[in-house]
């Protein structure tokens, strides 16, 4: 897989910059800086301590902080846990009200939920359709018992940048602490904790070409912000976060931050030109909607919703292209709980559009060639899916997306019929002309199957279908059409169990087989109705 697929998932994680991994490698073995930075009695420890402090300065410099204000953690998730729970605990006597946004990263959302269970009051602010917070909503939400406002700088799904300074004016005025999740902002846009009035700030190394498993929390010293430790043992990091410091990780994060500061301007320019190029190409397709503000957005992220196609069919198609695109739906949606992105729904997208969304995230090694290749492949795939979709009514050019022969997530049969259906998408060829057309769907039309056949007396001479739904829904339609070809309608009987076993459908896809069984039943019914019509006409 790796090596040939185009990586456009930099917002999920970035590869480590070779300059970073080189520095890290020098911190592990006997000849290197492997010592425990707390063992100041000997050289090994002292050298490690120096390396850690140098990295601390590099991280501080990237955000305009003092080195002493940086606390090492395992990543932004832990940083935000420490910030939110730590502040809640330390300031519980002052008040038990926290304000945050509906579109925060899960690490902040889940901390707030946890605190809610422990008796804190949490206000979840909405965002406008462009993904930005309305400062007036915040102003109204701040109460006498508010201790903390937590607003992310850059959203991980949409790339939308919040107006941090306007928010901090309000928190300062009302004497409320301000935490910012900057995991997606650091190294992409300038950060200055003093100018921007930030009290606590979460960082993660693996979003800016550093290693996974290391992050930092900035904790303001003047005026001093108190944070109750959440991990105890040894009193490292001024008592806020215990545990032996992982020197190689820390040195990696330091080098990544140093590089980010050096490269940020040029990189943001180059990456945003590539992002705009991708958007220009994709927006040639009708009804491709950009999610979130285009103006207030980091360089590397483009999030779009594609009308008329199902999210799973789209994502499976993208990962099953001959040259696959490694992207993310932007939401952590699992096959089991097909839940669409809560972030996109907060921006006002309906469930279908939120589900049929793609987050392209570009970065340091993305090339123009890759962008052109992806734009071309995505366009072909969307066209092919739309030609098959009963929910897409506009004309679509014929397209032949180049699909891979196999896909590890699906049975060979499901994948074969799905990709074939995209190749011979004969929309309109048979449909709606003379012949029989039936349509059935699951409740709420999550999946729709439309079947059309042409008959010569009782023999089916041609069968075609349209389908909106997952990969299996498309595969089932294609399989059924194959199976119906040249058959006598009255003699066919196909059960959903037969369809399931023929295609090797997973049990959670049973509804697709039932849909096909229904469609066939309706077709027979329609046929007999037509027959009796003809009989009656003949009789009269
Ligand atoms: C990735 C990410 C996190 C979590 O960072 P980890 O270091 O993986 O724990 C938190 N917030 C945002 C916005 C992120 O993108």
Q: What is the pLDDT of residues 339-375, one digit of tens each?
A: 789 999 999 999 999 999 999 999 999 999 999 999 9
Is the previous residue joined to 327 through a cis bond, with omega within 30 degrees of 0? no
Nearest ligand 1 atom to the CA of 80 is 10
Whether cis (ω within 30° of 0) applies to the bond prior to 223 is yes
Task: List the one residue out of 109, 506, 501 whose CA is nearest residue 335.
Answer: 506
Residue 15 three-state SS = coil
Residue 335's pLDDT band (cuts 50, 70, 90): very low
Q: How far apart are CA 462 and CA 417, in angstroms?
A: 17
Q: Give 460-483 as a DSSP string.
A: EEEEEEEEESSHHHHHHHHHHHHH
The Cα–Cα gap between 459 and 450 comes to 19
What residues contact residue 298 under an 8 Å CB cut-off, 6+ apart?
154, 159, 161, 184, 185, 188, 189, 268
Q: Tens digits of per-residue pLDDT, 242-277?
A: 999 999 999 999 999 999 999 999 999 999 999 999
pLDDT tens, 450-498? 999 998 888 999 999 999 989 999 999 999 999 999 999 989 999 999 9
Residue 334 binned pLDDT confidence (cut-offs 50, 70, 90) = very low
Q: Tell me if 341 CB under 6 Å of ligand 1.
A: no
Is the CB of 204 inside a 6 Å radius of any atom of ligand 1? yes
Q: Are 390 and 515 in contact (CB under 8 A)?
A: no
| Global confidence as pTM | 0.93
Enter the tokens of residue 360.
């392209």
Nearest-Å Rg of the Cα atoms of the chain is 28
What stretch of H or E contains 6? strand 6-7
- Single out the residue of 180, 167, 157, 106 nearest to residue 137, CA to CA: 167
Q: Mark whether 297 is an active-site residue.
A: no
Helix-then-strand count for the chain, H and E:
15, 15
Q: Note the pLDDT of residue 425.
A: 66
Say whether 100 sits in a helix, a strand or coil: strand
User: Among all chains, which residue has been given the structure tokens 């366009």?
Assistant: 379
Catalytic residue among 333, 440, 470, 481: 333
Which atom number of ligand 1 is nearest to the Cα of residue 205?
Answer: 7
1 pLDDT exceeds 50? no
Q: Which residues contact 495 (CB under 8 A, 6 or more apart)?
A: 517
Measured distance CA(490)–CA(325) in Å, rounded: 45
pLDDT of 210 above 70: yes
Residue 349 and residue 287 in contact, taking contact as beta carbons nearer than 8 Å: no
Tell which one of 9, 59, 77 to mutate to probe ligand 1, the residue whose CB is within 8 A of the most ligand atoms: 77
CA distance linking residue 298 with residue 294, whole number of Å: 9
- Contact between 225 and 86 (Cβ < 8 Å): no
- CB burial string 404-413: b at 16+ within 10 A, e below: eeebeebbee
Q: Are strands 146-150 and 177-181 parallel, antiparallel or unpaired?
A: parallel
Q: Give the closest residue to 359 by CA, choosing from 408, 313, 318, 402.
A: 318
**Whose alpha carbon is nearest atom 9 of ligand 1?**
77
Q: What is the mean pLDDT of residues 105-125?
A: 97
| Contact 188 CB / ligand 1 (< 6 Å) | no
Q: Return the minimum-mean-pLDDT range out of 12-16, 382-386, 528-532.
A: 528-532
DSSP one-letter string for 349-399 = --HHHHHSEEEEE--TT--HHHHHHHHHHHHHHHHHHHHH-TT--S-----
- Residue 212: exposed, middle, or buried by beta-carbon count in 10 A (0-12, 13-18, 19+)? middle
The tens digit of pLDDT for each residue in 505-519 reads 988 899 999 999 999
Ligand 1 centroid to 12 CA: how many Å?
Answer: 8
The residue contributing the CA closest to ligand 1 atom 7 is 75
Span from the CA of 227 to the centroid of ligand 1 (angstroms): 20
Is the pLDDT higher at 429 or at 400?
A: 400
């Amino acid at each position: 897989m790796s090596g040939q697929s185009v990586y456009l998932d930099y917002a999920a994680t970035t590869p480590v910059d070779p300059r970073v991994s080189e520095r890290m490698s020098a911190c592990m073995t006997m000849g290197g800086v492997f010592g425990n930075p707390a063992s100041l009695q000997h050289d090994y420890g002292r050298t490690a301590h120096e390396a850690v402090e140098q990295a601390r300065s590099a991280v501080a410099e990237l955000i305009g902080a003092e080195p002493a204000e940086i606390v090492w953690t395992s990543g932004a998730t832990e940083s935000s846990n420490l910030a939110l729970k730590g502040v809640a605990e330390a300031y519980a006597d002052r008040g038990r009200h926290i304000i945050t946004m509906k579109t925060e990263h899960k690490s902040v959302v889940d901390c707030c939920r946890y605190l809610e269970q422990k008796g804190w009051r949490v206000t979840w602010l909405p965002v406008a359709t462009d993904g930005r917070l309305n400062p007036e909503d915040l102003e109204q939400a701040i109460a006498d018992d508010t201790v903390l406002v937590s607003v992310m700088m850059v959203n991980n799904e949409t790339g939308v940048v919040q107006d941090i300074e306007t928010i901090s004016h309000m928190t300062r005025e009302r004497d409320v602490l301000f935490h910012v999740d900057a995991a997606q902002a650091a190294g992409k846009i300038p950060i200055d904790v003093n100018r921007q009035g930030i009290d606590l700030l979460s960082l993660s190394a693996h979003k800016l070409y550093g290693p996974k498993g290391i992050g930092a929390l900035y904790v303001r010293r003047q005026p001093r912000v108190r944070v109750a430790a959440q991990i105890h043992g040894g009193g490292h990091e001024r008592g806020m976060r215990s545990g032996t410091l992982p020197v190689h990780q820390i040195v990696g994060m330091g080098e990544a931050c140093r590089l980010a500061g050096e490269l940020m301007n040029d990189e943001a320019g180059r990456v945003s030109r590539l992002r705009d190029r991708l958007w220009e190409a994709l927006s040639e397709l009708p009804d491709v909607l950009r999610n979130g503000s285009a103006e207030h957005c980091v360089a590397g992220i483009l999030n779009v919703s594609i009308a008329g196609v199902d999210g799973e069919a789209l994502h499976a198609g993208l990962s099953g292209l001959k040259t696959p695109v490694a992207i993310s739906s932007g939401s952590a949606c699992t096959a089991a709980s097909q839940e669409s992105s809560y972030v996109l729904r907060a921006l006002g997208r309906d469930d279908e559009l939120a589900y049929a969304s793609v987050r392209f995230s570009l970065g340091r090694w993305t090339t123009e060639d890759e962008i052109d290749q992806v734009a071309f492949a995505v366009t072909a795939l969307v066209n092919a899916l739309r030609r098959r979709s009963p929910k897409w009514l506009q004309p679509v050019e014929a397209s032949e997306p180049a699909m891979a022969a196999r896909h590890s997530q699906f049975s060979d049969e499901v994948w074969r019929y799905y990709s074939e259906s995209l190749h011979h998408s004969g929309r309109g060829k048979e449909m709606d002309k003379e012949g029989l057309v039936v349509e059935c769907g699951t409740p709420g039309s999550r999946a729709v199957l439309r079947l059309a056949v042409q008959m010569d007396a009782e023999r089916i001479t041609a069968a075609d279908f349209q389908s909106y739904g997952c990969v299996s829904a498309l595969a089932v339609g294609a399989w059924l059409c194959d199976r119906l070809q040249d058959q006598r309608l009255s003699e066919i009987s196909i059960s959903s169990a037969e369809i399931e076993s023929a295609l090797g459908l997973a049990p959670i896809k049973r509804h697709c087989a039932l849909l096909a069984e229904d469609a066939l039943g309706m077709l027979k019914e329609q046929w007999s109705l037509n027959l009796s019509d003809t009989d009656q006409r003949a009789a009269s």
